[in-house]
Chains A and B, each alone.
Chain A
């Protein structure tokens, strides 16, 4: 390794004396890659939460009681209009002109910002 890399101590040593089990013993090369960790969703599915106790799912906030305000996807201003072709919200006719020139990819990216893009499965 290059001296400056060694000097910066950026690489984690492979063997650490204070560990009882070294990383290489625990995750042999072939195994480490195949090791799958449950994602949060799977963890929560596997969990059996006891009743009458707060848990990860129960503390989740409910939806807002107010209707969501509509904002222009491009400018962020209050959006009274929706473009029926792209279903983007827009604030003024000028913005509509811009929207009409947007390539579909950008339209979809704008929509995906508020989780409204069309997702093909």
Chain B
């Protein structure tokens, strides 16, 4: 099919006299125009118009037919789509039709002030008269055509094939176009439209069905499955199954035959760059780099430490000097001397000295022994505590208070220390007991430990799940929409909800007094608290203990199940070329099947084979002999009936309908696409053509009703 090739403007328009008819096959998908008597149309283009805005100039341009997709970047197509003058198979948009005709005549090379030629144009069978008259009006008024003839494309195709000897004088034509399929008989070379039969299924529906099915099957490649691509696939790969059900069975059983019939379309796909495992060298280099960085950090830390030690040493020395000086000084000199320093008393200096020496020891990494010393000193350090308040001066009282504070602090510290020590011994004792137990019966011990571990980890897991909504447990219910509002909340949220509602009910009676009493506010504390936090922590600590114990003594223990381990295999597997393949299996014959079974796409009409049966039923009062002759010459034509396997299928279908042993012959037209134009061309070049046309005067004089009765005679 012609697709992107733009038709060339013909230069020999002037060579034709004004009596040479112009022949137009105005098809749903393609517009074909040429000169009567020639074997092929001069210009063929898709019967669509697009009116995008030119980006640079902002003008609305009219583009008829297909265009080079590379050039569309200069146009803004957001507000315009491809439009056709047809609704089903009837022309209704005469503005679009005018653009199409403009382009057709322009490409044909039309010159002069009007198109001064008779025109033969195709139309659908039983074209509504308003459409026909508007078309005539357009040709007369706008182009100045002097005479017109309208004929049915399928009839021209039949006549052309009759001339070729492919079909007989009596016969029938089955023709399928873009939007519709027709079947009508010929008796003595004339079509009998009383018996005509139209089903609103055509090539458009086949392509659309294929496109929809594929984009539903491969939602991830929806953008790749364009209309054009679907059309290409339809023309290249689709076929009609001779027996649809058995063909389906072949595919359902996944037989070898079906496999051979499956086609695969590989979408453009670039494999992602392979991540090579790092080489030894690289690993070594990385390790070295890491080591170097570590060393640098260590060096920095060491340098910092030495600086700190030096500083502390200096400070210590200064303080020692100060103390020495104080020792040498007299009592009265001390106060004046101290006022020069930041310290207010000798005691303070001593404590500072102690502090510095302590931190120096710490910095050097020596064990501290200050606490014991403090303990030892405690009695002497707090001399004022034992003395009753009455005996003290205000200053001493202050000092006493300070001493009391320090004392309680240090006592608390020592108590905590004691407790820690106790706990340690307790733990040691427990470990000891454990060890004893283990020694007694290692197997049993291990078993119990494992059971405990399992129980604990399960309990913690359970609690976690409850807290974080528990979407894992009732997720499936949520998916099905069975979960109510309550189920969508997690435990904490539910608890909060409950508290709020109870608060509302308790206090909301009469008037809103919430907050009037202090305990009302306790509610928020309750709300924000996780009620089983403590329990949780205890369990977790216990679990950690058990786990470490297990690690120590159980060689088969593989460690706690880390969630990362589980999610590892769920990681997205890298995409392969197969993910970018579109497989055409059943679709290859499922889509054309709608021509035979329109109910598959929701059109409640007879399919192609049944249409032939309907046609015979509509032939009232016709001799059986003629009917037999008709069924012996069935011509298949039209762009949608090119599918391989269609002719035998149609023959089988008609055989079921026709009486037993009646002769049946189904033939394909010599060129199902171009024969209509060729037949029309031959028709228009015959001498009788001028008697079949009507002129502008005829049209205006006789009016629309006359146009309704206008039928050309096909048989000369």
Q: What residues on A are CB-neighbors of B196 within 8 Å?
A: 54, 59
Do residues A18 and B110 form an inter-chain contact, with CB atoms below 8 A? yes
B377 close to A (CB within 8 Å): no
Interface membership of chain B positions 608-633, coded 1 if the CB is closer than 8 angstroms to chain A and 0 otherwise: 00110010000000000000000000
Q: What residues on A are CB-neighbors of B130 within 8 Å?
A: 38, 43, 46-47
Q: What residues on B are CB-neighbors of A51 within 8 Å?
A: none
Do residues B216 and A2 form an inter-chain contact, with CB atoms below 8 A? no
Do residues B9 and A10 form an inter-chain contact, with CB atoms below 8 A? no
Question: In chain A between 1 and 46, which residues have their CB closer than 8 angstroms to a CB of chain B?
Answer: 1-2, 4-5, 8-13, 16-21, 23, 26-27, 32, 35, 37-40, 43-44, 46
Min C-beta distance of B708 to chain A, whole Å? 7
Q: What residues on B are CB-neighbors of A56 within 8 Å?
A: 90, 126-128
Partner of A19, one of B126, B143, B614, B708: B143
Do residues B604 and A18 form an inter-chain contact, with CB atoms below 8 A? no
Min C-beta distance of B582 to chain A, whole Å? 16
- Consensus secondary structure, chain A interface: loop
Do residues B610 and A65 form an inter-chain contact, with CB atoms below 8 A? yes
B603 close to A (CB within 8 Å): yes
Count of A-B contacts judged by CB separation below 8 Å: 188
Partner of B74, one of A2, A69, A78: A2
CA distance A87 to B600 in the complex (A): 15
Q: How large is the interface on B (under 10, 10 to 19, 20 to 34, 35 or more residues)?
A: 35 or more
Do residues A20 and B114 form an inter-chain contact, with CB atoms below 8 A? yes
In the complex, residue of chain A having the shortest beta-carbon distance to the beta carbon of B219: A106
In the complex, residue of chain B having the shortest beta-carbon distance to the beta carbon of A23: B98
B112 close to A (CB within 8 Å): yes
Partner of A12, one of B62, B92, B252: B62
Q: How large is the interface on A (under 10, 10 to 19, 20 to 34, 35 or more residues)?
A: 35 or more
Partner of B199, one of A8, A32, A50, A61: A61
Q: What residues on A are CB-neighbors of B470 within 8 Å?
A: none
CA distance A27 to B102 in the complex (A): 15
Do residues B74 and A5 form an inter-chain contact, with CB atoms below 8 A? yes
Do residues A59 and B127 form an inter-chain contact, with CB atoms below 8 A? no
In the complex, residue of chain B having the shortest beta-carbon distance to the beta carbon of A115: B602
Name which of B87, B103, B111, B114 has the most chain A CB atoms within 10 A of its CB: B87
Q: What residues on A are CB-neighbors of B131 within 8 Å?
A: 43
Q: What residues on A are CB-neighbors of B308 within 8 Å?
A: none
Do residues A17 and B112 form an inter-chain contact, with CB atoms below 8 A? yes
Name which of A13, A19, A109 has the most chain B CB atoms within 10 A of its CB: A19
Partner of A62, one of B62, B597, B599, B605: B605
Min C-beta distance of A26 to chain B, whole Å? 7
Question: In chain B between 141 and 185, which residues have their CB closer than 8 angstroms to a CB of chain A?
Answer: 141-144, 182
B586 close to A (CB within 8 Å): yes
B193 close to A (CB within 8 Å): yes
Partner of B106, one of A16, A32, A35: A16
Partner of A9, one of B9, B143, B607: B9
Do residues B111 and A18 form an inter-chain contact, with CB atoms below 8 A? yes
In the complex, residue of chain B having the shortest beta-carbon distance to the beta carbon of A106: B216
Do residues B98 and A40 form an inter-chain contact, with CB atoms below 8 A? no
In the complex, residue of chain A having the shortest beta-carbon distance to the beta carbon of B7: A9
In the complex, residue of chain A having the shortest beta-carbon distance to the beta carbon of B217: A74
Q: What residues on A are CB-neighbors of B127 within 8 Å?
A: 56
CA distance A110 to B212 in the complex (A): 9
In the complex, residue of chain B having the shortest beta-carbon distance to the beta carbon of A101: B479
Q: What residues on A are CB-neighbors of B143 within 8 Å?
A: 18-20
B125 close to A (CB within 8 Å): yes
Chain A binder among B63-71, B278-286, B391-399: B63-71
Do residues B6 and A18 form an inter-chain contact, with CB atoms below 8 A? no
Question: In chain B between 198 and 222, which residues have their CB closer than 8 angstroms to a CB of chain A?
Answer: 198-200, 209, 212-213, 216, 219
Question: In chain B between 98 and 114, which residues have their CB closer than 8 angstroms to a CB of chain A?
Answer: 98-99, 102-103, 105-106, 110-114
Do residues B141 and A5 form an inter-chain contact, with CB atoms below 8 A? no
- Can you list 15 contacts pairing A with B, beta carbon distance less than 8 Å? A5-B54, A8-B6, A8-B71, A18-B105, A18-B115, A26-B142, A43-B128, A46-B130, A54-B126, A58-B126, A59-B196, A59-B198, A61-B606, A61-B611, A113-B212
Further contacts, 9 of them, CB under 8 A, given A59-B198, A77-B251? A8-B68, A20-B142, A21-B141, A26-B98, A47-B128, A59-B126, A60-B197, A64-B605, A68-B597
The 5 A-B residue pairs whose C-beta atoms are closest, nearest first, are A115-B602, A68-B599, A40-B87, A12-B62, A59-B196
